[in-house]
Amino acid sequence: MSPVKSPHGRTGRPPRTSRAEVLAAARDIIDRDGWQKLTIRRLAAEIGVGTMTVYHHIRDREDLLVQLVNDIADQAPRPDLPDEPRDRIVVAAEAIHDGLAAHPWATEIITTDGFLDRLGESALTMVETIVAGAVDCGCTPEQAVDVFRGIWYYTVGEIVVRANSDQLQAEMERTADREIFFNNLDASQQPHLAAIGDQWPALAARDTYRPTLHALVDGLLAQATPATSDG
Amino acid sequence: MSPVKSPHGRTGRPPRTSRAEVLAAARDIIDRDGWQKLTIRRLAAEIGVGTMTVYHHIRDREDLLVQLVNDIADQAPRPDLPDEPRDRIVVAAEAIHDGLAAHPWATEIITTDGFLDRLGESALTMVETIVAGAVDCGCTPEQAVDVFRGIWYYTVGEIVVRANSDQLQAEMERTADREIFFNNLDASQQPHLAAIGDQWPALAARDTYRPTLHALVDGLLAQATPATSDG
DNA sequence: TCATGTTTTCGTACATGTATTAAAAGTACC
DNA sequence: GGTACTTTTAATACATGTACGAAAACATGA
């Protein structure tokens, strides 16, 4: 016998704060002081509620970040898709990459969570685009999933590594901790690395996501459709 | 005027514990109860010293994990390298991958740190092998670095994503939280994903590191050396 | 022996994420 | 208005990483 059925609206105590307000405040803090400064206590203080109140709107800190990412994904512009299926794959992958890379704190989510399970609409559309493009290139559904997974792994790795490299580099510039890189390597053991030497940081700082993505996609498609040449 | 020069041995208070002992105890805890249970306090208690004593041997928790990884890398078997430079690249990449993938807690290091800066001897040898292989395939040093970076990003991403997927899957099996995957997708919006549907987890669970690595390497080498055919 | 310098150890304190739990603040029905 | 129920709020407690700084333990030179 449910004594209260909330026949018209809702019952119980009305909320003082909303999920949207929590997300907005979180984004404010991140925009203002960086995502390292986003703590639950500070977030609650910003809104003017008790710390644990925030936990009524989010499962935990990581859930908050997931919701923020999905928010951003939903607001990100959908790219224009070219005609060639291969190019559609590339464009969709770049869209995912750029959307994530623009927000360094996204790293924490990608790495802490399954993430794919919690993707929102917009992000799912990009996944669909990649899988569809692979199928249009002659892949079986299984192969198409593999194509996506390869792209996903590469993209995640690029963002994770580069996010941390950037952070490390910023710290080094602050603490004058430079010149430790590859200084202890032995020219007889690692001749090529020794030859590159000091140039490594400069080379590694270049953004090579796109060309490598092209290489990966071409390699995957060539592998999946070894003898397909219609026309 | 250095009044104490430690002419024969060492000076100062003799250590009760050593770095090696700390690392060994840490590995014990990880092997026994999993890496999630490795806390500094517990580690110190295990050895029988105060918590902060541990910090005299490690810079911070993450530094401890880096040292553990390098330990493992140093003990990992060096793979036999084939004659073909392309195959040497693949074998070296697989060695790095397998070495890291065998220890899920390695994820935390890869993602939290610059990591490449702190590689030990053995790991550096694998980097050298990849760069050398790329050069032997006709790449310029710059291109060789790009080849390595592409492989590194892909490898890191694969390990990061899979480590967390495994963890998630284990939790789902425990909490019977199944069947949430891709259930909320719209067949008209994402036809291919909808067609795959329930099969996605099974497809995503397959280990496809190697074939995708081959595709990536082939794609990268083809891109770097478009018209190289000596002989 | 004693002062001095050096290295190691560890007690204390603080910020943080989060579980527990009970109080507060509403709504609906009588 | 009063009572029962639902939802929100927040105080409290605990585990963790780690900064700070003082104390301990030793070697050497006077």
Residue that has been written with the tokens 């005299």 in this structure = B56
Q: What global pTM score does this model have? A: 0.87
- The pLDDT of residue B39: 95
- Which nucleotide across the nucleic acid strands is nearest to A4, CA versus C1'? C28
User: With contact defined as beta carbons under 8 Å apart, do A110 and A156 qualify?
Assistant: yes
Pair A155, A42 in one domain: no
Least confident piece of the model among A176-185, B31-40, B47-56, B163-172: A176-185
**Residue A206 belongs to what domain range?**
77-224
Q: What is the arithmetic mean of pLDDT over B201-222?
A: 95
- Judge whether A72 lies within some domain: no
- The pLDDT of residue A128: 95
User: With contact defined as beta carbons under 8 Å apart, do B89 and B147 qualify?
Assistant: yes
- The pLDDT of residue A7: 39
| CATH number of the domain within which A26 lies | 1.10.10.60
Query: Angle CA(A119)–CA(A54)–CA(A120) in degrees, nearest 5?
Result: 10
Residue in B117, B125, B157 nearest the CB of A181: B117
Residues 6 or more apart whose Cβ sits within 8 Å of residue B127 = A190, A193, B116, B119, B148
Residues A26-77: tens digit of each pLDDT: 888 888 888 888 888 888 888 888 888 888 888 888 888 888 888 888 888 8
Cα distances (Å, whole numbers) of residue A3 to A8, A175, B126, B229: 14, 65, 69, 82
- Average pLDDT score over chain A: 82
Residues A80-120: tens digit of each pLDDT: 999 999 999 999 999 999 988 888 888 777 776 666 667 77
- The pLDDT of residue A163: 83
Band the pLDDT of B217: cuts 50, 70, 90. Answer: very high
- What is the tally of structural domains in chain B? 1
Pair A81, A51 in one domain: no
Residues 6 or more apart whose Cβ sits within 8 Å of residue A71 = A23, A27
- Judge whether A6 lies within some domain: no
- Judge whether A81 lies within some domain: yes
- The pLDDT of residue B169: 62
- The pLDDT of residue B177: 45
Is pLDDT of B178 > 50?
Answer: no
Task: Kindly list the residues from chain A whose CB atom is less than 8 angstroms away from the CB atom of residue B161.
Answer: 110, 115, 152-153, 156
Pair A146, A214 in one domain: yes
For residue A173, give the amino acid letter: E
- Judge whether B146 lies within some domain: yes
- Judge whether A229 lies within some domain: no
**Residue A193 to residue B150, Cβ atoms within 8 A:** no
Band the pLDDT of B59: cuts 50, 70, 90. Answer: very high
- The pLDDT of residue A154: 97
Percentage of the residues of chain A whose pLDDT score is greater than 90: 35
Is pLDDT of B10 > 60?
Answer: yes
Pair A42, A139 in one domain: no
Pair A32, A83 in one domain: no
Q: Which residue would you say has higher pLDDT here, A198 or A133?
A: A133
Pair A23, A87 in one domain: no
Pair A35, A91 in one domain: no
Nearest CA in chain B to A194: B128
Choose the final residue of a domain: A58, A91, A110: A58
- Judge whether B201 lies within some domain: yes
Band the pLDDT of A5: cuts 50, 70, 90. Answer: very low
- Judge whether A70 lies within some domain: no
| CATH number of the domain within which B110 lies | 1.10.357.10
